[in-house]
C-alpha cells in the first residue's frame, strides 16, 4: 500500500472502528480512534509533502486498484499528488484533526458520541478521496461522498424535524448542481476519451484541441461547483446547514467541503484557460453571491447564521479570483479562509457552550472578560477576515481585489467596486458580531449569566492554534507556490504601482468597516437602532434573506408538490396503476372463485364427468370421422 492510499484509508478505518465498536468500547476508545487516525493521516501527509519537495515537486501518481475495464477503456482508482494537492490535503488533515480534537470537548455529553465521530471520519475519507483522486471519476465519488456525509452530519440530531429538514435540503440542492457536473464528465469522456484530469488538461493545452467547447465544459462543471460551494442560485442550503453541531460547520462550511468547487476549477485550469466566457460567468456569479450574502449577514442575529452567510460571501471572493484567471489566488483564499473561518465557527461554538446553548447575539454582550481565551481568538480571526494587516486574510483578499481590478483576463473597475464594497461590508458585519457578542453590557438572563464559563482545554487550545494560523498563515505565498501549475494572469498596468494602490485601498476598507461598526454599536447601540428604524423595510428584507427561500417554495416547491400529489400519486399511482392492477386482480379472483365451484371434492362426480367426457369425445369422432 502506498502512502497516498494510506492517507485516504486512515479516516475510513476510523469510521469503521467507531461505527462498529464505538458504543461498546466507550468514549475513550472513540476519542483515540476518531482523533488519532486523522492525526496520523496528517503526519503521513507531511511526510509525502517533504518527499515531494525533495524530489523537486514532480507529481506523484499511485494506483490503488483497477475499478473496471470496458473494452479498451480502463477505469482506475488512482491518486495524484502535486503542489495543489499538497495544500488541500494539509488543510483537510491538519484543520480536520484540530476540529476532531475540539469535538471531544464540545460533544462529550452527547449520547451519540461514537456515531458523531464515525460520521466525521467518514467525511474526512471522502474529502481526501476528492482532492487526491487523479480522475474526475474518483473525484466525483468523493464529491458525492462528502454530500452523503454532510447530510448525515447536518441532520445529526435527526429527532428534531427542523434539523432533519436542513440535512435533506443540503442533499437535494447539491444533487441539482451535481447533474451539471455529470453532464460535464460525459461531454469530456465522449470527446477527450478519458476522465484522467492531467490528461484532460494536457489535451486542452495541446495544438490539436478536443472537438468540444471549453466554455461548455467549464460551465457544466461550474454548475456542480455552484451547488457544492453554495453560489447563486444554489446557495440556500448552506445557512440552514448550521443546524448540525458547530464543529461540523467548521469542518464542512469553513475548511473543506464548500471549497471543493474552487478546487475543481483550479484543478481543471487547463480547460478554463481556454474558456473566457465561462470565466466571465464565474466571476459575475461569484461577485453577485459575495455582495448578496454580505448584505444578508449585516442583518442576522444568530451567531452561526452570520458566519454562514459570511462563508457564502467569502466563497464568492474565491470564485471571482478563479473567474479572472488567478487560480492560485483563489486557492490562497481557500487556505487562509480555512484558518480564520474555522477559528470563528469553533469560537462561536465556545460562545454557545458558555451561553448554555443560546445563539442570539442580542442576548449576549460583555463576554470578553468572562471567556477571555475565546474572545482573544475570536478577535484575531475577526481582524483576519476583515483584512487587517498583517493577518492572513489581508494578504489573500488584497490579491483578489488586485486581480479583480487589473487582471487581463477579466478584471475591471465595476468588478473591483463590487468586491471592494463587499470587503467593506465584511469588515462591518464581522465587527458588529464581535461587538454585540463580547462588548457592552450583558443582555442575557441572570440564570444564563451565572453559568457562563470558559470552554475546556480541548476546545481553547484548538482555538489558540487556529488564531495563530489566522495571524501568520498569510506569509506563505500560495500563488507563488502554485505558479508552476497555475500561472497568474498578467496585470493591466504597472504591477508595483497597482500593488501599492490596492494595499492602500484594502487597509482603508478594513479601517472604515471596523470604525463604522464601532461607532454604530458603541454604548447602547442607539445609533444602529435609529438607522434600523429609519430603514425598517430594507432591514426586514435583509433579515428575511431577500425572501429567496419563499420564492423557491412558491415557484418550485409548491408546483412540484401539486404535480406529485395530483398527477403522479392520484392519477398515476392510485387510478392507473392501483386501479388497473386492482381491477385485474379482482377479475382474476372472480374467475377463480367461479372455477373453484367445479372442485366439489366428490369422487363419484369426478368419475361421472370423466366418463361423460370420454363419451362426448367418442361421439364427436364418430360423427366427424
Q: What is the pLDDT of residue 583?
A: 67
Q: What is the spatial distance between Cα 146 and Cα 174, in angstroms, rounded to a whole number?
A: 11
Is the pLDDT assigned to residue 598 strictly greater than 70?
no
Which conformational region is residue 266 in: left (phi greater than 0), alpha (psi within -120 to 50 degrees), or beta? alpha
Average pLDDT value for residue range 81-103: 96
Is the pLDDT assigned to residue 562 strictly greater than 70?
yes
Average pLDDT value for residue range 305-321: 96
For the chain, how many structural domains are there in total?
1
> Is residue 140 a contact partner of residue 183, using CB atoms and an 8 Å limit?
no
What backbone phi and psi angles, to 5 degrees, belong to 74?
-115, 125
Tens-digit pLDDT profile for residues 25-44: 999 999 999 999 999 999 99
CA-closest candidate to residue 17, choices 32, 5, 33, 6: 33
Q: What is the spatial distance between Cα 519 and Cα 510, in angstroms, rounded to a whole number?
A: 14
In a domain, 525, yes or no: no
Give the DSSP letter string of 131-165.
HHBSBHHHHHHHHHHHHHHHHHHHTSSTTSHHHHH
In a domain, 184, yes or no: no
Residue 43: Cβ-neighbour burial (10 angstroms; 0-12, 13-18, 19+): middle
- Mean pLDDT, the chain, integer: 92
Least confident of 201-210, 502-511, 552-561, 596-605: 596-605
In a domain, 153, yes or no: no
In a domain, 561, yes or no: yes
Is the pLDDT assigned to residue 422 strictly greater than 80?
yes
What b/e sequence results for 173-196 when a residue is b if at least 16 CB atoms lie within 10 Å of its CB, and e otherwise?
Answer: bbeebbebbbbbbebbeebbebbb
Q: What is the pLDDT of residue 261?
A: 94
Average pLDDT value for residue range 323-344: 96
Q: What is the spatial distance between Cα 266 and Cα 457, in angstroms, rounded to a whole number?
A: 37
Is the pLDDT assigned to residue 175 strictly greater than 70?
yes
pTM of the entire structure?
A: 0.90
In a domain, 612, yes or no: yes
| Torsion angle, alpha carbons of 169, 107, 110, 246, to 10 | -20
In a domain, 293, yes or no: no
| Torsion angle, alpha carbons of 427, 431, 432, 433, to 10 | 110
In a domain, 580, yes or no: yes
Q: What is the spatial distance between Cα 213 and Cα 271, in angstroms, rounded to a whole number?
A: 9
Q: What is the pLDDT of residue 74?
A: 85
Q: What is the pLDDT of residue 620?
A: 79
Is the pLDDT assigned to residue 272 strictly greater than 70?
yes
**Per-residue confidence band for 243, with pLDDT thresholds at 50, 70 and 90:** confident
Least confident of 145-149, 546-550, 587-591: 587-591
What range does the domain containing 579 cover?
548-584+601-624
Least confident of 82-96, 404-418, 608-622: 608-622
**Per-residue confidence band for 617, with pLDDT thresholds at 50, 70 and 90:** confident
**Per-residue confidence band for 571, with pLDDT thresholds at 50, 70 and 90:** confident
Average pLDDT value for residue range 178-197: 94
| Structural element, H or E, at residue 65 | strand 60-70
Q: What is the pLDDT of residue 390?
A: 95
In a domain, 365, yes or no: no
3-class SS of residue 256: coil
Query: Which residue blocks in 439-556 are alpha helix, DSSP H?
Result: 446-450, 457-472, 478-482, 495-521, 526-534, 536-543, 548-552
Is the pLDDT assigned to residue 364 strictly greater than 80?
yes
Q: What is the pLDDT of residue 324?
A: 96
Q: What is the pLDDT of residue 619?
A: 82
> Is residue 2 a contact partner of residue 28, using CB atoms and an 8 Å limit?
no
Tens-digit pLDDT profile for residues 473-512: 999 999 999 999 989 999 998 999 999 999 999 999 999 9
Q: How far is CA 196 from the centre of its chain?
A: 24
Amino acid at each position: 500500500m502506498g502512502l497516498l492510499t494510506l492517507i485516504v484509508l486512515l479516516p475510513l478505518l476510523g469510521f469503521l472502528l467507531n461505527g462498529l465498536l464505538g458504543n461498546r468500547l466507550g468514549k475513550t476508545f472513540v476519542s483515540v480512534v476518531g482523533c488519532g487516525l486523522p492525526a496520523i493521516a496528517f503526519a503521513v501527509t507531511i511526510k509525502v509533502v517533504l518527499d515531494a519537495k525533495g524530489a523537486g515537486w514532480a507529481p506523484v501518481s499511485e494506483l490503488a486498484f483497477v475499478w473496471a475495464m470496458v473494452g479498451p477503456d480502463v477505469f482506475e482508482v488512482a491518486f495524484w499528488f502535486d503542489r495543489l494537492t499538497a495544500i488541500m490535503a494539509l488543510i483537510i488533515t491538519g484543520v480536520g484533526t484540530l476540529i476532531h480534537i475540539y469535538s471531544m470537548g464540545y460533544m462529550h455529553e452527547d449520547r451519540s458520541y461514537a456515531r458523531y465521530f464515525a460520521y466525521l471520519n467518514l467525511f474526512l475519507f471522502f474529502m481526501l478521496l476528492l482532492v487526491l483522486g487523479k480522475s474526475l471519476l474518483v473525484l466525483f465519488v468523493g464529491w458525492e461522498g462528502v454530500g452523503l456525509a454532510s447530510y448525515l452530519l447536518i441532520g445529526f440530531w435527526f429527532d428534531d424535524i427542523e434539523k432533519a429538514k436542513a440535512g435533506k435540503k443540503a442533499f437535494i440542492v447539491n444533487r441539482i448542481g451535481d447533474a451539471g457536473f455529470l453532464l460535464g464528465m460525459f461531454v469530456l469522456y465522449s470527446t477527450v476519451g478519458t476522465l484522467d484530469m492531467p490528461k484532460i488538461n494536457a489535451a486542452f493545452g495541446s495544438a490539436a484541441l478536443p472537438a468540444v467547447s471549453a466554455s461548455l465544459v467549464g460551465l457544466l462543471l461550474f454548475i456542480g461547483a455552484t451547488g457544492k460551494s453554495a453560489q447563486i442560485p444554489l446557495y440556500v442550503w448552506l445557512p440552514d446547514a448550521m443546524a448540525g453541531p458547530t464543529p461540523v460547520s467548521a469542518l464542512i462550511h469553513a475548511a473543506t467541503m464548500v471549497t471543493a468547487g474552487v478546487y475543481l476549477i483550479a484543478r481543471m485550469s487547463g480547460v478554463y484557460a481556454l474558456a473566457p466566457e465561462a470565466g466571465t460567468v464565474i466571476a459575475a456569479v461569484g461577485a453577485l453571491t459575495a455582495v448578496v450574502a454580505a448584505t444578508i449577514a449585516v442583518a442576522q442575529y444568530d451567531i452561526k447564521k452570520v458566519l454562514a452567510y459570511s462563508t457564502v460571501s467569502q466563497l464568492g471572493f474565491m470564485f471571482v479570483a478563479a473567474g479572472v484567471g488567478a487560480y492560485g489566488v483563489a486557492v490562497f483564499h481557500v487556505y487562509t479562509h480555512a484558518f480564520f473561518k474555522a477559528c470563528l465557527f469553533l469560537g462561536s461554538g465556545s460562545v454557545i457552550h458558555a451561553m448554555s446553548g443560546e445563539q442570539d447575539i442580542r442576548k449576549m454582550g460583555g463576554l470578553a472578560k468572562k471567556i477571555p481565551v475565546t474572545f482573544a481568538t475570536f478577535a484575531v480571526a475577526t481582524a483576519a477576515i476583515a483584512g487587517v494587516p498583517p493577518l492572513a486574510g489581508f494578504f489573500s483578499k488584497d490579491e483578489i481585489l488586485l486581480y479583480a481590478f487589473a487582471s487581463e483576463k477579466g478584471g475591471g473597475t465595476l468588478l473591483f467596486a463590487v468586491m471592494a464594497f463587499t470587503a467593506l461590508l465584511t469588515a462591518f458585519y464581522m465587527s458588529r458580531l464581535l461587538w454585540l457578542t463580547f462588548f457592552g453590557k450583558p443582555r442575557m438572563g441572570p440564570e444564563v449569566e451565572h453559568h457562563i464559563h470558559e470552554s475546556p482545554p480541548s476546545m481553547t487550545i484548538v482555538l489558540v492554534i487556529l488564531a495563530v494560523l489566522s495571524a501568520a498563515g498569510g506569509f506563505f505565498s500560495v500563488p507563488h507556490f502554485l505558479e508552476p501549475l497555475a500561472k497568474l494572469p498578467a496585470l493591466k498596468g504597472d504591477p508595483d504601482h497597482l500593488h501599492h494602490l490596492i494595499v492602500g485601498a484594502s487597509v482603508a476598507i478594513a479601517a472604515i468597516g471596523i470604525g463604522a461598526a464601532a461607532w454604530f454599536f458603541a454604548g447602547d447601540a442607539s445609533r444602529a437602532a435609529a438607522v434600523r428604524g429609519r430603514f425598517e423595510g430594507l432591514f426586514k428584507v435583509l433579515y428575511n434573506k431577500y425572501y429567496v427561500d419563499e420564492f423557491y417554495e412558491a415557484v418550485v416547491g409548491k408546483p412540484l408538490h401539486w404535480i406529485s400529489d395530483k398527477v403522479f400519486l392520484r392519477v398515476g399511482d392510485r387510478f392507473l396503476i392501483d386501479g388497473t392492477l386492482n381491477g385485474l386482480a379482482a377479475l382474476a379472483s372472480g374467475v377463480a372463485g367461479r372455477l373453484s365451484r367445479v372442485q366439489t371434492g366428490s369422487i363419484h362426480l369426478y368419475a361421472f364427468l370423466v366418463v361423460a367426457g370420454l363419451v362426448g369425445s367418442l361421439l364427436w369422432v364418430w360423427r366427424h370421422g
